[in-house]
């Protein structure tokens, strides 16, 4: 019956933990045996020493006999040394590997999940999974196992010794308060953990605001908000003290409580055991032994509560990690995938779209026809849905069936990874990794493209900027390196996108921080180089689109106009109004002398 219950629980175990145990149970078993061996061997040397002392005192031993005993003690010590090494290696080592495995699984999942998942999950929350939750798992699979084994073994041995060597009835009665020790340790352990987390949170608040103030000191001073900042800091500092005091109070309560409960066991032992001595049921020596054993039981009981607490925390962390691992990508992989060769023929039919979990429609009845080798321009106000369309084309969000077709095949039938091989995409927000410029440009392609880095940097009009840096292409950017200007970041990001030889190239407003003429030069050169490849450019600067085969004008999620630059300028519509405005701005700039 009981075994069935245990089996049921094992079946319900998280697959992550179950698979891990399946592969590693033998290591755990050996580790636990080694641990028990250490615990038992520990008892041998004092006993040997005692016997030896008695024999020396009675003069019933010669030098050889003494050496035999000493060698025996040394051998036992050596055995303990080995067993200690083994349990550490087996139990802790295995737990470390489990934590590593969990982190890798989490990371793999992060790379798989679609964009929309990250819209809903705060990044701090995700980071906590990688750090706190994995640490809690490691505690559960290492320290808790060790403590549990130790505490169980010690309490069983001590308990048996008390009952066997002294008296079972006395043992049972004196141990009544002891489970209470475990309970107190469990509840307080939980409280301490909660308050400890609060302390850490308050502390990170404190560092965050200090950091903010230091890095934004110019804003603080120019806005004359020193008082406000001081007030904010002072409040958080007070909260920091309060949370620390809360923790200290509980620590202060804990030990007296342990002593009180342990002490009540001793009182019971004194009353009942004393009576037994008087009535001759046990000897005085037995009574003394009993009290020493009773004291030895306190620690394992406290440890038991601690272990339960660590296990509860580990299980909660496992649940949180499981939630991420079970997260389904909103963009489902096709049931019967079609790995079509993509050349750049794109058709969009009556596409209407709202973001998942959001009612507002951001694309309304979009129709487009793009052919291989075309230069397609897309323009329109901010928020009109241009980037959303591109994200659908890249399968970052799910498009409705029967709306987007590549080479005549529904995009939902094309596997995401396959699709990405055919598209190089430069996003609106430039992003550089904290490494060298060269590695940044080579990020999405093989090492063998190394020789082309300069060529593409030139195409992106950033080569001269780069050679001006102290280490040229080996200059490190980001936190630990130099800071690039917005325009430089955009152009390096562009070089990264362009170096990937894909039949479809999409630039999503990725040159906004670069001046118009440079943008125009880049696009003109790029168009020449791409030849028969399809180029889609999103931009606000209509001059850049002058040579486009077709331009789509977006407004409030709809395409309001389409045609070539000349056609659109000759119509009296949004495009012409935008164009005239931009011409006027340019004239003003020229007149202001530049």
* Contact residues: Mg ion, CB under 5 A: 387, 428
Question: Closest approach of Cβ 544 to Mg ion, in Å?
Answer: 16
Residue from 50, 231, 383, 400 in contact with ligand ADP (CB under 6 A): 383
Please, are residues 457 and 496 in contact by the beta-carbon 8 Å criterion?
no
Residue 406, helix vs strand vs coil: strand
Binding of residue 403 to ligand ADP (CB under 6 A): no
Question: Closest approach of Cβ 114 to ligand ADP, in Å?
Answer: 11
Residues 108-147 that bind ligand ADP (CB under 6 A): 119
Residue 358 interacting partner from ligand ADP, Mg ion, none (CB closer than 5 to 8 Å by kind):
ligand ADP
Binding of residue 362 to ligand ADP (CB under 6 A): yes
Residues 16-75 that bind ligand ADP (CB under 6 A): none
Stretch that binds ligand ADP, among 19-27, 41-49, 377-385, 464-472 (CB under 6 A): 377-385
Q: Which of 131, 449, 185, 405 is nearest to 305 (CA)?
A: 185
For 547: left if phi > 0, alpha if psi spans -120 to 50, otherwise beta; the answer is alpha
Residue from 19, 40, 235, 358 in contact with ligand ADP (CB under 6 A): 358
Distance, C-alpha 412 to centroid of its chain: 30
Q: How many helices (H) and strands (E) does the chain have?
A: 23, 10
Tell me how far apart the alpha carbons of residues 390 and 380 are, in angstroms, rounded to a whole number.
14
Residue from 24, 138, 387, 490 in contact with ligand ADP (CB under 6 A): 387
Question: Closest approach of Cβ 384 to Mg ion, in Å?
Answer: 8
Question: Closest approach of Cβ 555 to ligand ADP, in Å?
Answer: 10
Residue 384 interacting partner from Mg ion, ligand ADP, none (CB closer than 5 to 8 Å by kind):
ligand ADP
Residue 202 interacting partner from ligand ADP, Mg ion, none (CB closer than 5 to 8 Å by kind):
none
Interior/surface letters 86-111, b for 16+ CB within 10 angstroms, e for the rest: bbeebbbebbebbbeebbeebeebbe
Q: Which of 119, 151, 189, 178 is nearest to 36 (CA)?
A: 151
Stretch that binds ligand ADP, among 53-61, 319-327, 380-388, 527-535 (CB under 6 A): 380-388
Tell me how far apart the alpha carbons of residues 587 and 23 are, in angstroms, rounded to a whole number.
73
Residue 73 interacting partner from Mg ion, ligand ADP, none (CB closer than 5 to 8 Å by kind):
none
Are β-strands 361-370 and 409-410 bridged in parallel, bridged antiparallel, or unpaired? unpaired
Tell me how far apart the alpha carbons of residues 425 and 420 are, in angstroms, rounded to a whole number.
9
Residue 247 interacting partner from Mg ion, ligand ADP, none (CB closer than 5 to 8 Å by kind):
none
Residue from 222, 336, 341, 382 in contact with ligand ADP (CB under 6 A): 382
**Residues whose CB is less than 8 angstroms from the CB of residue 78 and which lie 6 or more positions away in sequence, other chains included:** none
Binding of residue 266 to ligand ADP (CB under 6 A): no
Output 234 or 358, the one with its CB closest to ligand ADP: 358
Output 9 or 360, the one with its CB closest to ligand ADP: 360
Contacts with ligand ADP by CB under 6 A: the residue count is 12
Residue 31 interacting partner from ligand ADP, Mg ion, none (CB closer than 5 to 8 Å by kind):
none
Binding of residue 352 to ligand ADP (CB under 6 A): no
Tell me how far apart the alpha carbons of residues 400 and 354 are, in angstroms, rounded to a whole number.
10
Output 549 or 555, the one with its CB closest to ligand ADP: 555
Residue 388 interacting partner from ligand ADP, Mg ion, none (CB closer than 5 to 8 Å by kind):
ligand ADP
Residue from 24, 138, 317, 388 in contact with ligand ADP (CB under 6 A): 388
Tell me how far apart the alpha carbons of residues 441 and 497 are, in angstroms, rounded to a whole number.
8
Show the site string, 166-205: x = touches ligand ADP by CB under 6 A, - = not: ----------------------------------------
**Residues whose CB is less than 8 angstroms from the CB of residue 419 and which lie 6 or more positions away in sequence, other chains included:** 342, 394, 395, 406, 411
Q: Could you tell me which residues are beta bridge partners of residue 477?
A: 482
How many C-beta neighbours within 10 Å does residue 366 have? 22
Show the site string, 64-103: x = touches ligand ADP by CB under 6 A, - = not: ----------------------------------------
Residue from 385, 430, 487, 497 in contact with ligand ADP (CB under 6 A): 385
Are β-strands 558-563 and 550-555 bridged in parallel, bridged antiparallel, or unpaired? antiparallel
Binding of residue 386 to ligand ADP (CB under 6 A): yes
Output 50 or 383, the one with its CB closest to ligand ADP: 383
Angle at 529 between CA 527 and CA 532, to 5 degrees: 75
Phi, psi of 189 (to 5 degrees): -55, -45
Question: Closest approach of Cβ 506 to ligand ADP, in Å?
Answer: 12
DSSP letter string over 543-590? GGGTT-SEEEEEETTEEEEEE-HHHHHHSSSHHHHHHHHHHHHHHHHH
Stretch that binds ligand ADP, among 264-272, 383-391, 574-582, 585-593 (CB under 6 A): 383-391
Helix axis angle, 226-278 to 284-325, nearest 10°: 140
Output 192 or 389, the one with its CB closest to Mg ion: 389
Binding of residue 305 to ligand ADP (CB under 6 A): no
Question: Closest approach of Cβ 573 to ligand ADP, in Å?
Answer: 18
DSSP letter string over 179-224? HHHHHHHHHHHHHHHHHHHHHHHHHHHHHHHHHHHHHTHHHHHHTT
Question: Closest approach of Cβ 431 to ligand ADP, in Å?
Answer: 16
Binding of residue 429 to ligand ADP (CB under 6 A): no
Interior/surface letters 440-462, b for 16+ CB within 10 angstroms, e for the rest: bbbeebeeebeebbbebbebbbb
Output 299 or 355, the one with its CB closest to ligand ADP: 355
Question: Closest approach of Cβ 361 to ligand ADP, in Å?
Answer: 9
Phi, psi of 505 (to 5 degrees): -120, 125
Question: Closest approach of Cβ 456 to Mg ion, in Å?
Answer: 24
Contacting positions for ligand ADP (CB under 6 A): 119, 355, 358, 362, 380, 382-388
């Amino acid at each position: 019956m009981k075994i069935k219950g245990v089996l049921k629980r094992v079946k319900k175990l998280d697959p992550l933990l179950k698979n891990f145990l399946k592969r590693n149970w033998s290591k755990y078993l050996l580790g636990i045996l080694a641990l028990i061996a250490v615990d038992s061997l520990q008892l041998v040397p004092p006993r040997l020493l005692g016997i030896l002392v008695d024999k020396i005192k009675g003069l019933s031993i010669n030098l050889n006999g003494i050496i035999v005993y000493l060698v025996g003690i040394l051998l036992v010590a050596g055995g303990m040394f080995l067993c200690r090494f083994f349990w550490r290696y087996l139990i802790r080592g295995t737990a470390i590997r489990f934590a590593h495995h969990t982190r890798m699984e989490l990371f793999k999942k992060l790379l798989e999940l679609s964009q929309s998942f990250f819209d809903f999950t705060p990044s701090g929350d995700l980071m906590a999974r990688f750090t706190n939750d994995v640490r809690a798992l490691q505690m559960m699979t290492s320290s808790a196992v060790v403590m549990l084994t130790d505490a169980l073994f010690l309490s069983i041995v001590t308990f048996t010794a008390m009952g066997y060597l002294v008296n079972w009835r006395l043992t049972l009665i004196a141990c009544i308060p002891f489970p209470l020790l475990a309970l107190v340790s469990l509840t307080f352990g939980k409280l301490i953990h909660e308050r400890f987390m609060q302390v850490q949170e308050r502390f990170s608040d404190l560092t965050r605001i200090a950091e903010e103030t230091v890095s934004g000191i110019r804003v603080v001073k120019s806005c004359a908000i020193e008082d406000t900042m001081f007030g904010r800091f002072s409040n958080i500092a007070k909260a920091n003290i309060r949370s620390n005091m809360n923790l200290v109070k509980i620590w202060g309560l804990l030990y007296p409580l342990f002593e009180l409960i342990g002490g009540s066991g001793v009182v019971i032992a004194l009353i009942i055991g004393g009576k037994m001595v008087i009535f001759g049921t046990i000897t005085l020596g037995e009574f003394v032994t009993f009290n020493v054993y009773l004291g030895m039981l306190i620690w394992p009981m406290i440890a038991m509560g601690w272990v339960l607490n660590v296990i509860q925390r580990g299980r909660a962390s496992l649940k949180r990690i499981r939630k991420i691992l079970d997260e389904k990508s909103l963009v489902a992989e096709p049931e019967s995938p079609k790995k079509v060769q993509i050349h750049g023929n794109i058709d969009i039919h009556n596409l209407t779209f709202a973001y998942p979990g959001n009612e507002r429609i951001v694309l309304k009845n979009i129709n487009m026809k793009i052919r291989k080798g075309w230069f397609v321009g897309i323009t329109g106000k901010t928020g009109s849905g241009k980037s959303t369309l591109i994200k659908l084309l890249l399968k970052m969000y799910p498009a409705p069936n029967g709306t987007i077709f590549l080479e005549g095949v529904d995009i939902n039938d094309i596997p995401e990874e396959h699709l990405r091989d055919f598209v190089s995409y430069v996003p609106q927000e430039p992003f550089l990794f904290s490494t060298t410029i060269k590695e940044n440009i080579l990020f999405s392609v093989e090492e063998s493209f190394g020789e082309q880095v300069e060529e593409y940097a030139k195409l992106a009009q950033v080569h001269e900027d780069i050679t001006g840096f102290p280490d040229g292409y080996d200059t490190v950017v980001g936190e630990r390196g130099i800071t690039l200007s917005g325009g430089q970041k955009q152009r390096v990001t562009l070089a990264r996108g362009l170096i990937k030889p894909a039949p479809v190239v999409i630039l999503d407003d990725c040159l906004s921080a670069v001046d118009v003429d440079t943008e125009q030069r880049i696009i003109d050169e790029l168009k020449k180089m791409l030849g028969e490849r399809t180029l889609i450019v999103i931009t606000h600067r209509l001059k850049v689109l002058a040579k486009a085969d077709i331009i789509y004008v977006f407004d409030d999620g709809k395409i309001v106009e389409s045609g070539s630059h000349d056609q659109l300028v000759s119509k009296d519509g949004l495009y012409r109004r935008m164009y005239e405005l931009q011409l006027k701005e340019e004239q003003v700039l020229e007149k202001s002398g530049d």
